Structure 1
Amino acid sequence: MDRVNLREKFALFADHWSPRIVGALNGQHVKLAKFLGEFVWHHHEHEDELFLVVSGRLRMEFRDRHVWLAEGEFLIVPRGVEHRPVADEEAHVLLFEPASTVNTGNIQDDRTVSELERI
């Protein structure tokens, strides 16, 4: 039951698209990631994902539309929905999702992170 300071945790890493675990509850992980550029199009068969923008701005692209998220806003992407996060400038994002969630979902590529670091 330790307090978590998001600014301090974000200061511990610099790479993009590589989530870190900062908490766990009820089979869910609270993760932090830095986004910059375009991610891969993907979906998650069994997991919903929550994206909360802590700083910066992010565009969540869907095949039929896109949604802009500003600091302090969040979006839930339901399981099975293909999406691609895009950040034109660096964005700091908190993710809340089941522990089983792989960052690239149904896609395996060089951005897939199988073993997440806990910070």
Structure 2
Amino acid sequence: MPEPISLREKLSRFDDHWNPRVIAELNGQHVKLAKFQGEFVWHDHADEDELFMVLRGSFRMEFRDRAVDVREGEILVVPRGVEHRPVADEEVHVLLFEPAATRHTGDVVDARTVTEYQWI
């Protein structure tokens, strides 16, 4: 039977940044938690939209033509094919919702690219 998932408890299990953890799956979508701090890489997702929900803190989503602040309690959907880069001046806790096959750096390979997501 399904059980509630404590986001606070799951977030307490890791301290690293830019390494999303999977906490649930539904209809081919992963629900992930991540901690951001600093600048991520410029990337896009050719075939997938990506949802970011800020649980704690805030971050700036940079696009090539503008930047958008995303604050605690807000969501942002980045449409497929749109190049973007999250930037967090201080640590921020984020819930991500995206297709299970989505690589968080898109086609960009970087030291932070995760090839296999860890379930927590």
Q: What interval of TM-score do these two structures reach, taking the shorter chain for normalisation?
A: over 0.9
Please give the residue correspondences for 1:66-105 in structure 2 after superposition, counting only pairs within 5 Å: 66-105=67-106
Aligned to 1:110: 111
Query: What is the percentage of aligned positions where both structures have the same residue?
Result: 66
Q: 1: CA distance between counterparts of 2:52 and 2:117?
A: 17
* Per-residue CA distance 1:71-104 (angstroms, 9 max, x = gap): 0000000000000000000000000000010010
Residue identity opposite 2:39 in structure 1: E
1:46 is aligned to 2:47? yes
Secondary structure of 1:88 counterpart: strand
Q: CA deviation at 1:109?
A: 1.1
Q: 2: CA distance between counterparts of 1:25 and 1:8?
A: 20
Secondary structure of 1:103 counterpart: coil
Structure 2 residue runs of 5 or longer lacking an equivalent are none
Residue identity opposite 1:23 in structure 2: A
1:13 is aligned to 2:14? yes
- How many residues get paired? 119
Secondary structure of 1:8 counterpart: helix
Aligned to 2:62: 61
TM-score normalized by the length of structure 1: 0.99
Residue identity opposite 2:100 in structure 1: A
Residue identity opposite 1:118 in structure 2: W
Residue identity opposite 1:43 in structure 2: D
Secondary structure of 2:115 counterpart: coil
Secondary structure of 1:102 counterpart: coil
Q: CA deviation at 1:35?
A: 0.0
Aligned to 1:33: 34
Secondary structure of 2:62 counterpart: strand
